[in-house]
Amino acid sequence: MTKPYTFVNPSKKQIDDYYYAQWETPYRSTVIFCDWLKKYVQFNNGLNILDMGAGMGSNVYHMAKMFDGDNFSGLDLNEELINNGNEIIKEKKIRNASLIQGDWFDLPEKMVNAYDGIVHFQTLMLFEDYKSPLDYLIKLNPDWIAFTSLLYEGNIECISRIRDFESEEYREFNYSVFSLPILQQYFNDNGYKFTKSQPFEIDIDLPKPQEWKGMQTYTERLIDGSRIQLSGPVKMPWYFFIASKNDF
């Protein structure tokens, strides 16, 4: 089973540009994803929600502020990120958010049946195979699972191997585009009969970095005025997705 452990120990640039930056200014994908989820999830009802691969917890913080009637936990393997995030949560006095250190592939039994919903942001795409990580989430038996990831509307998958020579330390990792209909069938076969999805069409321009040539998302305008998102040399077909045991 493949784990995206190349991201466990981020560089200082990643911590500054990705983890800390989102506390004050969350990504547009995070904001729009949370707005999209409200169409299908009855928030502010005392729900317990887990963010898998939470990093330093900025998305947990954003959701906890947005839905202050629910409880949010975030799990990540990196203990330093978790500790730093919990300190920020404490400073900001957010009472319905907390972060815990743990391994996606080795979760304690007490987490089974503990959550109404599970979210993960831009994480599934780091795996070579969607089945292994999603199997572990399904074992926790939430009512629903929702995420942002790279998806394709046909029965085709594409696994891109990124070799990053621009970072402070050379890294290799995956950018995987999974098949939307195959994912829908997978969830259907595992008791999650109801699914919804939507392409994420960003509504702002992200400038192309002039100095930094590494993996960082930017937008380009097409002739019809729409935007495509790219990171380094890769086109990023982002989607929102939710699978639920119950009808929406």
Q: Is residue 41 part of a domain?
A: yes
Q: pLDDT tier at 8 (50, 70, 90 boundaries)? A: low
Structure confidence at residue 170 (pLDDT): 82
Q: Is residue 227 part of a domain?
A: no
Classify the phi-psi angles of 57: left when phi > 0, otherwise alpha if psi is within -120 to 50, otherwise beta: left
Number of domains making up the chain? 1
Domain that holds residue 64: 5-202+237-244
Contact 151, 248 (CB under 8 A): no
pLDDT for residue 229 is more than 60 = yes
Which is higher by pLDDT, 232 or 149? 149
pLDDT for residue 95 is more than 90 = yes
Q: Is residue 222 part of a domain?
A: no
pLDDT digits (tens, 9 = 90+) for 176-191: 999 999 999 999 999 9
C-alpha 193/C-alpha 221 separation (Å) is 37
Q: Is residue 220 part of a domain?
A: no
CATH number at residue 172: 3.40.50.150
Q: pLDDT tier at 17 (50, 70, 90 boundaries)? A: low
* Winning range, highest mean pLDDT, from 66-75, 204-213, 217-226: 66-75
Structure confidence at residue 1 (pLDDT): 40
Q: Is residue 130 part of a domain?
A: yes
